[in-house]
Chains A and B, each alone.
Chain A
Amino acid sequence: MWGDLLARTEMAEIPNVQLNVSSHAENVLLVRQALNGLAETIHLDPLELNDISTAVSEACNNVALHAYDGADGPLELEIYVGPALLTVVVRDHGVGIHPRIDDESGGIGLPIMLALAQSVEFHDLDGDGTEVRLEFAITARAAELERALPGAPALAPVNRDGIADDVTVLTLAPAKLGRTVLPRLLSALAARAFFSTDRISDAQLLADALVAHSEETVNGGQLNIDINVRPRALELRLGPLQTGRTSELVGDGASGGLGLLLARLAESHEVRSAATGDVLALRLTDNGA
């Protein structure tokens, strides 16, 4: 898997947003939240967002319902923003493509995708699942896109060893996309962990601070975040960050307020060293006080 990821990042351009989740039907909500967050950053036309969100939801629903024969498996989303084109790739590693396209059981997913996307391509991944590539014409102004999404250098993702299957993994390039994407995803996952609106608001404040900090200290152009939902708790890891700078910033009495926020809003936090840089790990809880 590691070699595969490297090969892909070398061959293709880097996705602006990458989201890997388990293929539960309820995770399609996370996909839509990621799209909403991206749309806010690039000032996407609401009508275009509605089309994109509807079509991409269908592609993801298809994976949730059919890719793993009723079981769960990885659902991978990649979004690439071009000057006049937004490309979304939805990938699974389940059964191949034909049983699903030929599905006569009244499925309207494919006709919806065909009607709303500029182009729809299905790729059979040689026995390792299916990839749907959807292209949408967008009218967002190119200048805004360039300002929002400068070219990001390729970087291997944070080490994913030991991440359980139901973890949400988000990769953003550039990191500032996190401003609009991370608070939404974190809110949705906090809601799933039964957080109160109080604590969801705290999570949003923390997301703002984490992204602001990461924009300055991320190692390379891609910010990786993984979030694990536990009963009444969220575990979050974020990196790779420049070695040393995060310890400095989260330490007691550090300026800028991140240390203060972490101390008050997170149950625990620590900075870990990884090969690609520092990783900030923290745990948010809501004990229903």
Chain B
Amino acid sequence: MPSGTAIAASTPSIIPGLSDDPAELFVRWQAHRDSAAREALVQRYMPLTRRLARRYGRSSEPFEDLLQVASLGLLKALDRYDAERGYPFESFAVPTILGEMRRYFRDSGWAVHVPRGAQERALKVRDAQEQLSGERGHAPSVGQLAQYLELDAEDVIEALQAIHAYETVSLDAPRPGSGEDAGSIGDAIGADDERYELVELDATVAAALKHVPARERLILRMRFVDDLTQTEIAEQVGISQMQVSRLLRRSLDQLRSLTGASAGAR
């Protein structure tokens, strides 16, 4: 192996005066602790490290934190790579860097934090949804939300799913059937409730509807009898569209189980 300085003089390099041949750089770093060579290797493999950080644990942690952990993995790989074995550095670096990120996730209780991150994102999506609905007079698309929040469409879809399905994502909804709020909505329905049109559809549904809280009954009627959109209902009732969505889901679930249409369902 020729000496580093001889190579450096004759080949282009990232750092002035240094070879860009990785084999040469590895010798200079591993055998001679040449920190300039290590710096050149870090620069060379940083794109790989960034790609790995982006692909693993997408949208879970702040990217810069993840990149820092991945970079630590890269430094370990630069120390431990054995070129004598004849495998390219990448095939050694990828598992080493992934291993570092996995260990970080495990040790930092990442799995425990996932729900909190999802919760925060869900609330951001809800707020943006209300903001954009207010400005434009109709509900935004996923693409518009993603652009507004600088998130992936995939993250927005997951947030919408979480809002729809998980009671653990709190939307600060007043509990139905409790407190003054629900009572006043019940009053608002008033005598009209006796002629509730949904009732005409089916005696079983009519009987089941009695078990659905007043607020939910009102929302069911607005959606399915008056044919209002969820955003319109949200405006009239004074809650968010996400809450309308969830209240509809809950009352439909309830109707399903009460009418026995799906005994095995929630």
Contacts and interface: CB of A to CB of B under 8 A. Distances in A.
A202 B227 CA distance: 12
**Secondary structure at chain A's binding surface: helix, strand, loop or mixed?**
helix
Interface string B6-37: 00000000000000000000000000000000
Contact of B141 (A47, A196, A264): A196
Interface stretch (B78-86, B174-182, B183-191, B253-261): B253-261
B252 A253 contact: no
Interface in B78-102: 90-91, 94-95, 98-99, 102
A194 B141 contact: yes
A141 to B, nearest CB: 16
Given A50-B57, A208-B252, A260 B198 contact: yes
A258 interface: yes
B259 A255 contact: yes
A209 interface: yes
Nearest to B115: A46
A259 B248 CA distance: 16
B204 A255 contact: yes
A47 B142 contact: no
Contacts of A115: 94-95, 98-99
Interface in A153-204: 176, 179-180, 183-184, 187-188, 191, 194-202, 204
A220 B157 CA distance: 31
A142 interface: no
B165 interface: yes
B106 interface: yes
Q: How large is the interface on A (under 10, 10 to 19, 20 to 34, 35 or more residues)?
A: 35 or more
A143 interface: no
Contact of B224 (A50, A108, A200, A264): A264
A183 B157 CA distance: 10
A120 interface: no
B253 to A, nearest CB: 7
Contacts of A84: none
B164 interface: yes
A108 B60 contact: no
A255 B261 contact: yes
Given A106-B90, A195-B141, A289-B229, A216 B264 contact: yes
A86 B254 CA distance: 34
A29 interface: yes
B141 A54 contact: no
A259 B94 CA distance: 53
Contacts of B1: none
A261 B262 CA distance: 15
B147 to A, nearest CB: 12
B105 A209 contact: no
Interface of A: 29, 32-33, 36, 45-47, 50-51, 54, 57-58, 106, 108, 111-112, 114-116, 176, 179-180, 183-184, 187-188, 191, 194-202, 204-205, 208-209, 212-213, 215-216, 249, 252-261, 264, 288-289
9 contacts: A47-B106, A112-B55, A179-B266, A191-B153, A194-B143, A201-B248, A209-B252, A257-B256, A288-B138
